[in-house]
Structure 1
Amino acid sequence: MSNLALQVKDDIVAKIKNDQLVLPTLPEIALQVQEIAEDAATTIPQLTKIIAQDPAMTARIIKVTNSPLIRTSSPVTDLNTAISRLGIDFTSNLCVGLAMEQMFQATHDIIDKRMRSCWSRAMEVAATCQVLARHYTRLQPDQALLAGLIHQIGMLPILSYAEDNADLLHDSISLDLVLEKLHPSLGSYILRSWDFQPDLALVPKEYLNLKHTADSADYTDLVQVATLQSYAGSDHPLGKVNRTELGSFQRLGLAADEEVTQLEALSEEMEATQNALGM
């Protein structure tokens, strides 16, 4: 690790320990939805009233409802019906996840490009997680989707830090090193501060741990498999990982000699899911 990378890493770690690092905060719409969804007495009209304040989010939820992801029997044109089809839990997780997109933007072109690239990968991984959860686990597909969308949330404060640090901003190698070293633990730190449930908060910290263990398939397994799949065939180190002995693939029931075929068979569904998440 370069001297600059070490210096930045130590500075960020010190800020975390001293509670001085400025952490990203969830968008207001996500906070409101998260709060009301935690109340078991919440009704669909109540959730509709909150989400309807955000026309863009309303349009995206209706779009998802009309996509192959949900397979509705007839077109949905209003938010109340969309939430009725999706359910309160699915809608709230979808809303919280999609609201994060506005956080992955910056004023500096270099950082903005990195943030948008990060969000694009999050969308790809989330779509794969959602499909894998439906076909290979008993995990909740909406939670799997959210796990994919938040798995690199730890990159945000590092990229924001770089935006205000000229040396790091123009040293892509050092920035990559800092991101690689810090974003997993920082991501889980952020999610705990947002009161995310423990199995989701663990995802950023563990998804790159190829020795991750669990009694049965969990959300970390889904994100790990989806991440490795996203790099398949590339020159990236994660594209060269021997997946045949990974516990994550085994717990999902992806056979070592058939997993490529199994995943390719779901590629159209994964692509449709990713398209449904975008605009």
Structure 2
Amino acid sequence: MIGKAEFFESLQAAIKENKITLPTLPEVALKVRDAVEQENVSAQEIADMVVTDAALSARLLQVANSPLYRGRVPIESIQMAVTRLGYKLVRSLVVTLAMQQMFQATSDALDTRLRDMWEQSVEIAAICRVLAQNLPHLDREQAMLAGLIHNIGALPVLTWAESFPELMEDEASLDQMVTELTAEVGTQILKFWGFPETLVKVAAEAQNLNYDSGPQADYVDVVIVSRLQAAPADSAGGMAEWINVPAFQKVGLDPEVELIEIEGVAEDIESVQDAFR
């Protein structure tokens, strides 16, 4: 059985030699992301970028008309979506929908695992969005995106693992390999994508329960709490040990409280899950 160090070294070599490529955002997502940062960009210009990708456009309209975002009047065009939802939200949604496509397996061996991983990421993202609503200095859509990208490093790890049949057959060893390498590879991917440091830190620190960057919660704290809230009660030491996790105090959530039991939270989480299934 290949060890962690040898596997990681071979993965990095494979990336360098183009035997495996890091996940990439489609050109339309990159264009929209960059355009939103420009002062004089118009809704029509952003819409024109989005409509160049028919599949992405269709999904964006579907999400825009979901219970999560819809208003009284249905959104019937991409320009209407951009105008109604706002540039920054459309940017987040375009990146999110582009990411969803990355979790589609190219082999039967990974299909179930990647689908489960996407569903788990969406659940964590939904919890992130709920938590951020009570943290005025954080953007709830950015928090949702943080939840979605926190384990992006698992994708190339799993893809490369297919080169080692004995590893693919040993589920426990594969899970351990993914857990131990996701942060480092994820950090590499988000830097490659040009993501802001606030989100790069999410990939690097999401599994670090001792993370404490200061008195104010950041997106890492939100993801840490969301991961624990989404996890089975007997994992990560269980709720009894959550009291020792700094992130809970910073996001303002009692470690002994299950977020989903708070009135209205379950519905909010379900709305996000329905939108991105």
User: TM-score, length-normalised on structure 1?
Assistant: 0.88
1:261–1:33 Cα change, 3 Å: closer
Superposed CA offset, 1:110-150 (max 9, x none): 21221221111111111111121113443011211111111
Q: Is the 8 A contact 1:29 1:51 kept in 2?
A: yes
1:1-279 → structure 2 map (5 Å cutoff): 3-12=2-11, 22-70=21-69, 72-215=71-214, 216-233=216-233, 235-237=234-236, 239=238, 242-257=241-256, 259-260=257-258, 264-265=262-263, 266-278=265-277
Task: State the AA in 2 paired with 1:115.
Answer: L
CA deviations 1:223-249 (Å, max 9, x no partner) are: 11111111143x433655621232111
Q: Give me the whole-angstrom Cα distance separating, in 2, the residues matched to 1:241 and 1:7.
A: 36
What does the per-residue CA deviation read over 1:129-183, in whole Å, with 9 as the maximum and x for residues that have no partner? Answer: 1121113443011211111111110001111101222222222222112111110
Q: Distance in 2 between the 1:219 and 1:239 partners?
A: 22
In structure 2, distance between residues paired with 1:142 and 1:229: 19
Bigger Cα displacement from structure 2, 25-34 vs 66-75: 66-75
Q: Percent identity?
A: 37
Any idea what the Cα deviations from partners look like across 1:170-223, whole Å, max 9, x if unmatched? 222221121111101210111011110000011011011111112311111111
For the 8 Å contact 2:260–2:266, the answer to whether it is kept is no
* Partners of 1:238 and 1:21 in 2: CA distance: 36
Unaligned runs of 5+ in 2: none
Separation of aligned partners in 1, 2:193 and 2:247: 26
Identify which range, 29-38 or 208-217, moves more after superposition.
Answer: 29-38
How many residues matched? 275
Q: Which amino acid aligns with 2:22?
A: L
CA gap of 1:256–1:120, structure 2 versus 1, over 3 A, is: closer
**Which deviates more, 195-204 or 11-20?**
11-20
Specify every segment of 5 or more residues in structure 1 that has no aligned partner in the other structure, as ranges: none
Bigger shift: 107-116 or 180-189?
107-116
The Cα offsets for residues 2-52 of structure 1, whole Å up to 9 and x where unpaired, read as 654453234335667999863221123322222322322221101111111
TM-score (normalised: structure 2) = 0.89
Q: Is contact 1:29-1:99 (8 Å) kept? A: no
> Is contact 1:254–1:262 with CA below 8 Å preserved after alignment?
no
